[in-house]
């Protein structure tokens, strides 16, 4: 699954970014070249994975893996078939369409997987799920944006799109590898048990990031594309997005840290309580995650794929160096090295995009300060309430719901008193009123 997912990222993500950042007059021709380039890249990746399936299965010591890899490889062209359509839809701020198609595809794919498992398809139930999910995703993308990609483009036009697309795809692929580096190093130096606890904590944080930061990051690319000729508006929008993203994500991450013990007990069971301090530590990664996503959105909007690739390459080596230096001392130094790397790279990120945003590090820090303070006040209050005030409540679910409800009220109240402007910007953004937001 990891191999096919990496192939999917490399094969499909870069060309979509090329369409997203294209000028309005060039959108049609760029989309044609990107669609067929995307399909060609997806088929090439599928062929490569098919050829490597047997050696990989031999290295993994599983003969059954070969067939699974080959089957999953050929979901890549299906995934590529709808990527450009959805990129064009998102240029028109069709984010509700994206959410709806994801839900529909997920439900139908999951239903197919349950049926396949019931019919004793074994591991191929997951393969069927992926095929059905990608097929439904592609069909809904074509329905969302009614466009037939003709082949009327020149080789020169394709070559104009290709370097940017490959660089962006490689950058995102390196980003995926970076997210797996700690797993491998913990496994080698500490042991498989620690890897399991760390993966649960990291996956929980990743899901929270997808739910709070990724939607804003997706919207921001299209916002920046529409205003990139006006640096004053770019700076204003960038600062507002920092503030809004912080107002949405900080309470989620720090709130998670405050109620982590009860949440882990409910989601994973009492035997996974060792995950709790890891979750609490990794929640501090919300600030680097926020800057990282908006950083990549900015570079995509301005067509700076080489900067993106250079940054992710440097980030990879810094991550490995920090983790290896910490590895002999155990899992906690490795986790702290991840946090250190995240914060160390923020000034470099701001410096790289400053020519486009006109925003300094201090201005970026001021943009997130008020939502950060509101979230910290909420988290401390929630933690004290959970630990002391709600301790007599033995029903874990009731205790958790009460703590979360109290936290929401506290955060909303503090933010209303200290940063009403972020609330207004958030409402404007959620209604897709981009002209007022920017």
Taking only the tens place, the pLDDT of each residue in 19-53 is: 888 888 788 888 888 898 888 888 988 898 888 88
**Residue 243 confidence (pLDDT) above 60:** yes
pLDDT computed for residue 11 by the predictor: 67
pTM of the predicted protein model = 0.82
Q: Single out the residue of 206, 218, 214 nearest to residue 180, CA to CA.
A: 206
Instruction: Read off the pLDDT band of 222 (50, 70, 90).
Output: confident
Higher-confidence position of 14 and 320: 320
pLDDT computed for residue 98 by the predictor: 67
Check: CB of residue 335 under 8 Å from CB of residue 278. Answer: yes
Q: What is the DSSP letter of 56?
A: H
Answer left, alpha or beta for residue 37, where phi above 0 means left and psi between -120 and 50 means alpha.
alpha
d(CA 102, CA 97): 8
d(CA 344, CA 357): 20
d(CA 257, CA 43): 43
Taking only the tens place, the pLDDT of each residue in 276-290 is: 999 999 999 999 999
**Residue 438 confidence (pLDDT) above 70:** no
**Residue 433 confidence (pLDDT) above 80:** no
Q: For residue 81, what are its two tokens?
A: 């078939």
Taking only the tens place, the pLDDT of each residue in 401-414 is: 999 999 999 999 99
d(CA 227, CA 163): 24
**Residue 374 confidence (pLDDT) above 90:** yes
Of 72-81, 306-315, 385-394, 412-421, the range with the highest mean pLDDT is 306-315
Taking only the tens place, the pLDDT of each residue in 60-81 is: 677 777 888 888 888 889 988 8
Taking only the tens place, the pLDDT of each residue in 158-214 is: 888 888 888 888 888 898 888 888 888 998 888 888 888 998 999 899 888 888 888
Burial code of 77-99, b = ≥16 C-beta within 10 A, e = fewer? bbbbbbbbbbbbbbbebbbebbe
Contacting residues for 47 by C-beta, under 8 A, at least 6 apart: 73
Taking only the tens place, the pLDDT of each residue in 112-126 is: 888 888 778 887 888
**CA angle at 118 for the pair 112 and 120, rounded to the nearest 5°:** 105
CA distances (Å), origin 384, targets 381, 387, 406:
5, 5, 11
Query: Dihedral (C-alpha) 193, 53, 206, 239: value to the nearest 10 degrees?
Result: 140
Helices 361-384 + 331-357 axis angle, to 10 = 140
> Cβ–Cβ contacts within 10 Å for residue 51, how many?
11
What number of helices (H) and strands (E) belong to the chain? 19, 0
d(CA 421, CA 438): 13
Q: For residue 334, what are its two tokens?
A: 């490795």
């Amino acid at each position: 699954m990891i191999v096919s997912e990496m192939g999917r990222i490399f094969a499909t993500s870069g060309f979509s970014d090329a369409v997203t950042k294209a000028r309005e007059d060039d959108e049609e021709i760029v989309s044609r070249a990107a669609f067929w380039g995307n399909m060609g890249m997806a088929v090439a990746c599928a062929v490569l994975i098919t050829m490597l399936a047997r050696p990989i299965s031999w290295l993994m010591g599983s003969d059954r893996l070969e067939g699974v890899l080959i089957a999953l490889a050929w979901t890549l062209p299906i995934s590529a078939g709808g990527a450009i359509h959805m990129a064009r839809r998102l240029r028109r701020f069709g984010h509700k369409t994206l959410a709806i198609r994801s839900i529909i595809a997920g439900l139908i794919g999951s239903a197919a997987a349950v049926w396949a498992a019931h019919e004793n398809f074994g591991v191929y139930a997951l393969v069927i799920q992926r095929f059905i999910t990608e097929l439904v995703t592609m069909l809904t993308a074509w329905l969302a944006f009614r466009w037939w990609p003709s082949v009327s483009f020149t080789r020169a036009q394709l070559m104009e799109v290709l370097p940017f697309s490959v660089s962006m795809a490689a950058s995102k692929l390196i980003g995926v590898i970076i997210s797996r580096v700690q797993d491998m190093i913990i496994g080698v130096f500490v042991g498989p048990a620690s890897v399991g606890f760390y993966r649960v904590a990291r996956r929980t944080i990743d899901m929270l990031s997808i739910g709070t930061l990724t939607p804003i990051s997706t919207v921001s690319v299209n916002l920046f594309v529409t205003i990139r000729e006006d640096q004053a508006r770019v700076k204003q929008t960038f600062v507002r997005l920092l503030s809004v993203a912080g107002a949405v994500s900080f309470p989620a991450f720090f709130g998670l840290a405050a109620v982590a013990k009860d949440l882990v007990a409910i989601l994973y069971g009492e035997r996974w309580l060792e995950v709790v301090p890891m979750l609490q530590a990794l929640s501090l990664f919300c600030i680097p995650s926020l800057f990282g996503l908006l950083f990549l959105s900015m570079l995509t909007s301005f067509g700076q794929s080489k900067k993106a690739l250079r940054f992710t390459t440097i980030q990879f080596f810094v991550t490995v160096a920090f983790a290896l230096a910490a590895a002999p001392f155990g899992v906690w130094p490795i986790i702290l090295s991840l946090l250190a790397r995240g914060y160390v790279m923020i000034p470099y990120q701001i410096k790289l995009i400053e020519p486009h945003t006109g925003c300094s590090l201090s201005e970026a820090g001021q943009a997130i300060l008020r939502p950060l303070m509101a979230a910290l006040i909420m988290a401390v209050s929630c933690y004290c309430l959970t630990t002391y005030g709600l301790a007599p409540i033995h029903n874990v679910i009731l205790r958790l719901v009460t703590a979360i409800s109290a936290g929401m009220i506290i955060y909303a109240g503090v933010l209303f008193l200290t940063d009403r402007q972020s609330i207004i910007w958030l409402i404007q953004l959620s209604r897709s009123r981009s002209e007022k937001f920017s």
